[in-house]
Structure 1
Amino acid sequence: MVHRVNETAKVQMHTRINGLSLLEKITASLPGVIFTCIQRPDNSNVITYISSGCQELFELKPETVQANFLVLLNLIHPENVQTFTESFLVSSNTLSPLYWEGRIVTASNKSKWVQVTSHPSKQANGDIYWEGLVMDITTRKLAEENLRVSEARYKAILNAIPDLIFRINANGEYIDFKGEGANITIPREQIIGKNLWDLLPQDVANSSYAAIHKALASRSVQTCEYKLLTPIGLRDYEARLVVSGHEEILAIVRDITERKQAEAQLHISVSRNRLLAETLARIRKSLHLDEILQTTVTEVRKFLQADRVFIALHENKNQNNAQCRVLAESVNPCYPAVLDWKDDNPDECLFNELKTSLLINNVRVVEDITKIEASASLKGLYQAFHTQATLAVPVILGDELFGVLIANQCSSPRYWQPVEIDLLQQISEQLAIAIQQAKLYQELAQLNFNLEGQVEERTVQLQQKVQEIQELSRIKDVVLDTVSHDLRTSVMGNLMVLNNLLKADREIPSSIIERMIQGNERQLGMINSLLEINSSDAKDMIMHQEIVNFTTLIEAILQDSTSLLTRYQAQLVTQLKNLDRKNSVIVKADQELLRKVFVSFLTYSCQNNPPGLNFSIKAKMDGDKIRCIIQDSGVGMNKSECDSFFDLHVRDPQNRLSTSLCLKLYMCRQIIKAHGGDIGVNSNRKQGVTYWFTLPIQQTITS
């Protein structure tokens, strides 16, 4: 019987071995590791098969693992050994599937997450046969960990935000709600599932609904502000709406009542300061008192939002005849004006009543005229002009009450704020100064005007003289530097060559003669440039101008520049034909002088760039002038170099630009100015240098 059992076991083992060959072929192309293992009754383990993925996952050869099962267990991270052991024992004892996730540390000290799945089965001889799969799940685990960290971070951020946060769908229905809020007394269950119109006033709900759909349509943040009546009073709120999902937005709601109040106070303060500044400026600048007074009442009424503001002066015609006269007024058209009011029967008692109140308190504040004691005459005035609240400050000259600045509220009683009272008091002080010094100011302003004119005239004359002296000094420096540096250098070079030749006593090589000729040519060119500068004043420059077609003129000049372009292997493209097809532009110009301008531009670009430079020339109409633009493809200049490009300056010894060419660039500006045009240079580090100049148009012939 025992013999038969052993034979059966051998057959089964043989079948399994044959199957392993096929299994190896399949698993070679699969990720992870496939294994089979036998657990003996004595709890020893034998790896009967492990796929080639073992090398990549565990950094172990399959034969190493098969030789010693413990090398796999030694890879398990110390913090995960217990969970693996517990899972393995449970599966082994109950023959339930093994499912474990944990970390391993390979020989190269790489930490990996693996997932082990295995199915145990009990054999007839008591062995437990395991078939399983080990997968590398490091990427998934890292993603899960990052997600958990992100969720925790976002949750912390949301919890730290003191604002109310609502999730609302496109129909205006509340999906979720976060934060209790100081002013929210509605329970959570009465918010979720409701819509905007269930909880908000209709106008607020309508504007919020429109903002939600605007946010969904534009996929941008929308902001709306509104007011709500709460248990602690009327509050201001700001809602920021941001798209959070399909047909869904997040509404972050903040109580901005304190901010709004601060803004209102700031606005009042700014308006007050602006009004004071403007009034003071007008008092100082204007010579017309009526204009000052009218501006004052208009601006004060605008600032106070009052129904009426006026200025009344107390006039003492004689000891027995004192009257009040209104000089300026700004009034709401709904209420009667006091400007034409005349005090035909002056009431000395009424005047003394107001005078005493103003001089003692320096201000008269009435918030509700029905709640004060007043004479019959004063009550009659209030009734006649519909006055329900009034604020008055005195205009005092010396110790005398000269007049009054008064604000009325006719629509209802009114609480006058301290900042409003302070404003009127400061305005009254400026009015007193204006009234007292109007004539003196006018006389002083005239004297100042005359004096300023004389000073300005003398200053201009002095500045002109200083500029002339500075220009003469600068030109002197340029000429001295040119003569002392370039001419001396060239002459000394020629002398050295001649001395060497004299000592050598031999035939002069042609190359030396050529260099001497070139040196002399440079001297001659520089001398010619200096002579040109000497006569280059735009007013005195001698020109031989002709009436010519602009395009024909430029093309003729460029034709003469062919040899220069050839010498530096440069290419030039003109774009002037398009101008001819639209307009024939006629100008008055000296062709030879303009040729010098073009040659100077081309020479500068060629000498400061490698061979093979590209030029483009085009022109366009610019008002009553034609603008010519020459652009190269070379190295650009900085703004400082562009600004001083045409200046007459002392050459830097390290600068590649010759003194002769430097002088010619100065001449370019003088030539164009003599033609009545403008000249300039622009630069872009990526697009080279652009020269431009303009010439006045004599005639335009449209085709």
Structure 2
Amino acid sequence: MYPLEYLPIPFIIWAALRFGQVRTILSSFILSVIAISGTILERGPFVAKAVDSSQVVLLLQAFIGVITITALILAAVMATRQSVEAQLRLTAARNHLLSEMAMRIRQSLDLEDILQTTVEEVRQFLHADRVFFSCFDREGQGSVVAESIVPGWASTIGWTTDTQAYQELQAMFTQDAICVATDTAQSAISPFLKQYHDRFQVKAGIAVPIVLNTSDCPALNRLMEQNPEVHSDGGNPHLFGVLVVNQCTMTRQWQPLEVELLEQLGTQVTIAIQQGQLYKRVQNLNANLENQVTERTLQLQENMAELQELNRLRDVLIHAIAHDLRTTVMGSLMVLKNLQNQPGDSIAMSRGLLERMTQSGEIQLCKLNSLLEAYKNKTEGITVEASKLDLLPFVESIATDLKPLFELNEAHFVNKLPEALPPVSGDRPQLERVFRHLLVNAVKHNPPGVTVTLKAVIEGDSLRCIVEDDGKGISPSQCDRLFELRMGTTEERQLTGLSLGLYLCQQIVAAHGGEIGVDSTLGMGSQFWFTLPLASPAL
């Protein structure tokens, strides 16, 4: 007779390969119950083959044993295979994650982007409730800079720790390279960690320290040796931050592969931080170099502009000596030579000729003094001894001194300064030169009978003074260059004294922090104006 009772074994094998241990045991149990029930009812192959009742029991037990052992062995083999496959899948996923992290570190130097991507992928890979990265500053104060969290749990963004917590964490990581907690309620922890677990509902977690050591980064060391101003930790390792994984729903038995993954990720993050810091320091150095180059370029440009101005001033001095002063000197020499050609030891000279020679010498001396003063003001600057000055009596005093000049040229002076004019802040001798020069120019360079008017208006915290005349006016081309020290055409050289005097006025007004200018129309007169600061109550 054939053992037909063992025909269900292929179905048991199929159940073991298809459904796993639980359903395989259930299938073998159901088959055993059917076999026992048939035997009790004295039906089935075991009763037909047996000679007596003891042989029936023996055949039944052999059948149940074969079925059960076969099912259990196959189920155990499949469970082991599935566990190995899951482990292989987890290892492959871990390797993929690590390779992705390494690639991002090589491709990106943005530390914030790398950290945010790390916490998000770690949380998805471990199926954790929260993953965050906390960073510590130089004083040991910590703050969360990147976080990935399942909605519904408290966020750690904005959470900060003090120096005491930093020292506690540093001591904890000195003992353990990585901290793993499967059940925080059963762990012996410090008050700080207990408060952290209670605040963020942490049931289990892993913490990986990020320790930086500049001696591990030769490029960073070389950068610090070449640039001492870059901050260095002296090559000593220090806790830079912590990568933390939280399980909030329940306790969790962390697998060795998961712990190993976080350890390796800690190494990758450390590399990313060192590269990011190196990149930022190089950027800062480049920015400093660019700023230094820009500052040096601007300084050179200023020096070049100053040199050009000094060269221009030198050319003006040479021009004045070679033309204006040379003309007066040649005239004086011609007169002296004519006198020298007269016979006798004694030479008679008319008073008019002596007066003209004296006037020529005074003009030469005045021009030389003005040129030297302009050059000194340009190279050394003007020292202003500011004091409170009331313009009305000040101008009346100047007008009194210039009254003979106005009478000689039949000119009229009109003082329209308001009586309640506030005082200005200025150097009295210097401002007297400005007022005197503008009034004298308005008389000397206009036909007889000109009317010169002095006005003043308040503009904010300054006073605008105006010297107005109804004379012949000045052309626009001359107005544009009237306050410059320059070499003009033959016709313009007749105004050398005027241009030099106005140039000195411009220097004095600029030294007081004001501006000077002219508005003029040919045939309708001119308006020379300049601004002065109002005196502060402290003066």
Q: TM-score range by the shorter chain?
A: 0.3 to 0.5
Q: Which structure is larger by alpha-carbon Rg, 1 or 2?
A: 2
Which of the two has greater strand per residue?
1
Work out which structure has the larger RCO, using CA pairs closer than 8 Å and 6 or more positions apart in sequence: 2
TM-score relative to the length of structure 1? 0.35
Which of the two has greater helix per residue?
2
